[in-house]
Amino acid sequence: MSERKQSKAKEPRAIRQLRARQRKRVAAIRKLSDRYAEQPFPKRKAEKWNRLNRELDETEELITDLRARYERTARLDDVEE
């Protein structure tokens, strides 16, 4: 198995769930972008665009933090053995 597949298989469920939500946000962002290509967003759509992008960024930070904590505790498990 490739290193990437192994690391994904080892990822905690919380990270996998967050990644799934990220994919939905990305799809919604792309849909908005395609729908309003070459024109300004109406106010509500601009607010939605901003919210989705903010959530995407915040969740990416959370995933990075969770992954670091997971990797750290995995290293601690190796020390205890």
Range of the domain at 30: 3-80
Confidence check: pLDDT of 80 > 50: yes
The pLDDT, as a whole number, for residue 26 is 98
State the pTM of this model.
0.76
| More confident position, 46 or 71 | 46
* Overall number of domains in the chain: 1
Q: Is 61 exposed, middle or buried (0-12, 13-18, 19+ CB in 10 A)?
A: exposed
pLDDT at 22 (0 to 100) = 97
Using one digit for the tens of pLDDT, what is the confidence trace for 19-51? 999 999 999 999 999 999 999 999 999 999 999
